[in-house]
Amino acid sequence: MTLSFRPARAEDLDELVTIHTSAFPDPRGYAARVHNFTANALGTLDDLWLAEEGGVLLAHAFLFSLQAWFGGQCVRVSGIATLGVAPTARGRGVASELLTHLHEVARARSDAAIILYPFRQAFYKRLDYAGASPYRRLRFRPQAIPWSASASASVALRLRAATGRDRRAMASCWDAAAAARTGELVRAERAWDARLAHERRTWLVVEGENGVEGYVAWTVTKPDSFVETTMVVDELASISDRARQSLWAAVGAQGAQVATVQADVPEDDPMVYALDDARPSASAEAQVEHPLGVLACGPMLRVVDPATALTARGWGESGALVLQIGERRLELRTRDGRGTVRETQAEPDLRLDDRPLLSVARVRKHACVLAAKALRAGWAEHPRIGNGSQLGRPLCACVLDPCDDSRVGLGGAYPRPCPRVDRARCGCPRSDADRYPPAACRAPRIASFRGRGLGASRLWGGALADFIAGRIVSFRPVASGHDP
């Protein structure tokens, strides 16, 4: 099989719709599918690539040119979507070859990573994609929201319907909220056009003394007369905590019309802890009386080039680190929020293979907890205690004992309380009972890897969780103090 690849043209649309209908058998008609190809919220027909054999169209896939926030910096990424293969070409590796071509296109334009939402995770894992942090899909009664509209009105914020004049202010709120998260896409004007054109979506803003401080958008659905009404919170963005609470209060105020609220939030969103479900859910069980929703898989990511990824993202601390990724050894140096990378022959501080089993975290992970999870899952291997499987119990969040650099810490690796002498300084657990839970140890630094400042808290929570993290083969930490 010899395939050729080219961008799509307008005369391909009829064949494209035929393949698309077979690959995505949903109720959309011809016009809606053409619109998906020609006026997508993320791009146009110019972003669509085709695979052909002997002039016969076999498959299609978008490769969008996007930007995403990592470490407070906008990073160039590719977005793959709408991968479809003709029925006559399935089972021949056409999709894999088309994706391989798209990977090379992304590399040629110096994108740091490729992001997609998979139809089958196992298929993309074979092509070196890895799952991102999951998100929570909450389902709760409006009465579960602890803030009231009347209380929100007393904090000098005014809730009102959004108008066209608020578009720029809402975009600013979105940008501010997205910049504080990891992996959030930068929203282009065409994406705003598509979202604002939704006829059944309600948009509200809250105003303070200096203008709009946040907005919320929701859609109310009631598929049948005898089915409860559900409000789907499409998005909520704010630049202040008081605005966020006021917007959630506005959602809760719809309780007279809405039976259930559905909202997707990051895995560590504090909203989970704020909810106080006033009535049992219809899906309650004897063991789970107040279910709040489900944990859902996020997107998948493939690092295009580690050096590009490390230099593109932002960094919160200064320092140096030597990584071995496959056969390459890279020295990363960070200063003033940016990083530089060069090839080196120095002894690596961390070894990874080139299969990304951990990748972009849409929300930042605490370094120690991520390290402990990696060990327990068998993704990490420490030179002194292996992958931690022999411990037979949860690992504490300490990866290194900074008070005694002759030991390899890993908290739970100790069959006795942590041996640190100065517990008040390092924040270690003070009793046998609280030794093992990851949250028990409050020393977030773990250690710096070679040099000062670039703590593993930034390494795991930054590069490895955001871009580089693959199967950890070994690492040799060097103690260097504590975070305040």
pLDDT in tens, 10-65: 999 999 999 999 999 999 999 999 999 999 999 999 999 999 999 999 999 999 99
pLDDT number for residue 267: 78
Look-up of token digits 């710096």: 448
The predicted-structure confidence for 91-144, as pLDDT tens digits, reads as follows 999 999 999 999 999 999 999 989 998 988 899 989 988 877 778 899 999 999
Q: Which residues contact 271 (CB under 8 A, 6 or more apart)?
A: 138, 248, 263, 265
> Per-residue confidence at 281, pLDDT binned at 50, 70, 90?
low
C-alpha span between 409 and 413 (Å, rounded): 7
Q: Which residues contact 226 (CB under 8 A, 6 or more apart)?
A: none
C-alpha span between 462 and 433 (Å, rounded): 31
In order of start, what are the domains of the chain with their CATH numbers? 4-129 (3.40.630.30), 136-296 (3.40.630.30), 305-475 (no CATH)
The predicted-structure confidence for 250-277, as pLDDT tens digits, reads as follows 999 999 999 999 999 887 788 888 888 6
The closest alpha carbon to 474, from 376, 374, 352, belongs to 352
Over 80: is that where the pLDDT of 462 sits?
no
Model pTM score: 0.74
The predicted-structure confidence for 385-400, as pLDDT tens digits, reads as follows 344 333 332 222 233 2
pLDDT number for residue 176: 92
Look-up of token digits 């080039």: 305
